[in-house]
Structures are given as structure tokens and as C-alpha cells.
Amino acid sequence: MSAIKNTEIKFREALSRLLAGEPIRTKPTGKLTFNKINNEAGAGHSYINKACFKSLREEEFQLKIERYNNVKSDAMEGGVILPELNLSTEDALRRELKREIALKIRYKKERDDARKGSKLDESERNALLFRIHDLQEQLRPLTVVSLNK
């Protein structure tokens, strides 16, 4: 078996380990890249970028990498986690932190909106009370009380 075919097999195995979330030589966290596949396969620096592996990168790996990164970024932003995506504890904690921050921002916005609505209601109530007082002042001279018994 030629060295190129042997290396292609190593790259495919490395990609499958990374997609399964069980890497041997790299960390399971972070985005999936060609360089990460290269390091997981144990190849030399940027060996996957050689011209002989161009079709392997463009035809096989590119779509799988994009799909994995999209699913992972959706999961990190609070979307649905697919069963094939194994988040590490670090990624799971980071996802939970992002969710909590988003909730905190939403709650603060709701609180501010409620305060603003309360102030508008109070100012409207005060305007109505002043109008009632003004109308009472206008009607006071017109009110005639009979003193006959």
C-alpha cells in the first residue's frame, strides 16, 4: 500500500474519531478544522494541505466539517443537541453559561419594560387626577346649595 493511501486512511480514521468526540491526540473542544484532523492523524505540519489530498479535503471532509461545526455552534447557542454531537463538559458548561447570560439579558429587558410601563401608567393617572381636580374647580361656583328647611 502506498504512503499516500495509508495517510488517507489515517485522515479518515482521525475524522471519524473527531466526529465521534473521542480524539486521541487532540482536545475534543473547539471547532473541527483540517489542521485538527491533520494533528489527530499524527501527520506532519499541514500535511493534509498537500495537493495530493485536495480531492479528499474538498469532496469528503469539507461537508462533514461544515455540518459538524454548524450543528455544534447551534448547540452552543442554545439550539437542539443532536445525539451524534458529544459536547465535552467544558463545551456543555460554556453552552449553559451562554444560556444563562441570554436569560439574564431577557429578564432585565422585561424588568425595564415593566418599569417603563409603570411610569407611563403613573403619569397618566396623575394627569387624570389633575383633570378631575380642574373640572371640580370649574364646577364649584356653579353648584348651588339650598338652605331652606
48 has a pLDDT exceeding 70: yes
Mean pLDDT of 24-31: 82
pLDDT band (50, 70, 90) for residue 114: very high
Mean pLDDT of the chain: 82
The single-letter code of the amino acid at 109 is K
pLDDT at 5: 84
Neighbours of 130 (CB within 10 A): 10
pLDDT at 86: 62
Share of the chain above pLDDT 90, in %: 23
1 has a pLDDT exceeding 60: yes
pLDDT at 140: 80
pLDDT at 80: 52
* C-alpha closest to that of 47 among 56, 38, 36, 37: 38
Query: Any idea where the domains of the chain sit in the sequence?
Result: 3-86, 88-140
pLDDT at 103: 92
- Render pLDDT for 53-112 as a digit per residue (tens, 0 to 9): 777 778 888 888 888 888 877 776 665 555 555 667 787 788 889 889 999 999 999 999
**pTM, to two decimals:** 0.52
